[in-house]
A and B are shown apart, each in its own frame.
Chain A
Amino acid sequence: MARLTRMHLGDILVVPIQEELHDTAAEEAAEKIIKEADNSNIKGVAIDISALDIVDSFLGRLLQKIAWGLKAMGKQVILVGIQPEVAVALVELGLYLEEINTAFELDSALEKLKEMIKEDS
């Protein structure tokens, strides 16, 4: 599987998903994200999917699982850059991802995340 880019911005982990991932690769990526976030320095995770234009039920539910996992570990989660096409597909598949916060782009995502971390603490 290709390398998963990630960045640390202070206490926030940013994970941009830049290419289409087939199922096995996606699951491996999910594991990597959880592992990486399992670190007391990380308080929030921003998953950037602005590069994706097709998201199906598998990836949708995987994102849900990642969010639940991270929240269970006490981290704040935000999904960044859901494109209109992706939003439509998810919604029509019934995957509303209500528990996950969303933002247009990284700037606003980081701001929101910071706020969420503050409120939580």
Chain B
Amino acid sequence: MKEEILRIPINKEIDVLIARREIKSEAERIGFRWIDQTRIATAVSELTRNIIKHAYRGEVIVNKDDGGIEIVCQDEGPGIPDVEQALERGYSTTNSLGIGLIGAKHLMDGFEIESNDSGTKITTYKKLK
């Protein structure tokens, strides 16, 4: 049964720090091991930074269920023109958007993007082990 536990607006740079800090605490509260708490916090940092840099404003919603934690980052920005490409490029790209996405994808257990010109929504999941 999914339940929403946090909803943080992302409007300014400092919200990135606030979001990742709060979500890390929440992960600890839920019972994630430190190694996964860090992965979650880092993923949040990557995705919320993307919101600030490319969409200017958005929000993070954290949901919890029996299996783990779901983190949804959504914004009303211009969208990611080519999601496939952004994800495919390796670390050699200078595109911070791509790096953020790949990083988050790697750190979390589940990763889905929906993006069009009215906004982007990224849903990630970390299993509680």
Direct contact of A and B (CB under 8 A): yes
Q: Which residues of A contact B (CB under 8 A)?
A: 20, 22-25, 53-58, 84-86, 88-89, 92-94
**B124 interface residue per 8 A CB criterion:** no
Give Cα A94 to B106, complex, Å: 10
Counting chain A CB atoms within 10 Å of each CB, which of B42, B52, B107 scores highest? Answer: B42
Question: Which listed segment binds A: B67-75, B76-84, B96-104, B113-121?
Answer: B96-104
Chain B nearest CB, measured from A58 CB (Å): 6
B49/A89 in contact, CB under 8 A:
no
B96/A89 in contact, CB under 8 A:
no
Q: Assuming the A-B contacts A20-B21, A89-B107, A94-B91, are A56 and B46 also in contact, with contact meaning beta carbons closer than 8 angstroms in the complex?
A: yes
Q: In the complex, which residues of chain A have a beta carbon less than 8 angstroms from the beta carbon of B46? A: 56-57
Q: Which of B31-75 contact A (CB under 8 A)?
A: 34-35, 37-39, 41-42, 45-46, 49, 52
Q: Assuming the A-B contacts A20-B17, A23-B49, A58-B49, are A88 and B35 also in contact, with contact meaning beta carbons closer than 8 angstroms in the complex?
A: yes
Q: In the complex, which residues of chain A have a beta carbon less than 8 angstroms from the beta carbon of B91? A: 94
Q: Which of A23, A55, A57, A88 contacts B13 (CB 8 A)?
A: A23
**B20 interface residue per 8 A CB criterion:** yes
Q: Assuming the A-B contacts A23-B49, A56-B46, A58-B96, are A92 and B39 also in contact, with contact meaning beta carbons closer than 8 angstroms in the complex?
A: yes
B49/A54 in contact, CB under 8 A:
no
Q: In the complex, which residues of chain A have a beta carbon less than 8 angstroms from the beta carbon of B13? A: 22-25
Chain A residue, CB-CB nearest to B53: A23
Q: Assuming the A-B contacts A20-B21, A54-B24, A86-B38, are A92 and B106 also in contact, with contact meaning beta carbons closer than 8 angstroms in the complex?
A: yes
Q: Assuming the A-B contacts A53-B38, A93-B106, are A22 and B24 also in contact, with contact meaning beta carbons closer than 8 angstroms in the complex?
A: no
Q: In the complex, which residues of chain A have a beta carbon less than 8 angstroms from the beta carbon of B37? A: 85
B17/A89 in contact, CB under 8 A:
no
B42/A93 in contact, CB under 8 A:
yes
Chain A residue, CB-CB nearest to B36: A88
Chain B nearest CB, measured from A61 CB (Å): 8
A92/B107 in contact, CB under 8 A:
yes
B39/A57 in contact, CB under 8 A:
no
A89/B21 in contact, CB under 8 A:
no
Q: Which of A56, A85, A88, A92 contacts B45 (CB 8 A)?
A: A56
30 contacts between A and B (CB under 8 A): A20-B21, A23-B16, A23-B49, A24-B13, A54-B38, A54-B42, A56-B45, A56-B46, A56-B49, A57-B99, A58-B45, A58-B96, A84-B34, A85-B34, A85-B37, A86-B38, A88-B35, A88-B38, A88-B39, A89-B38, A89-B42, A89-B107, A92-B42, A92-B103, A92-B106, A93-B42, A93-B99, A93-B103, A93-B106, A94-B91
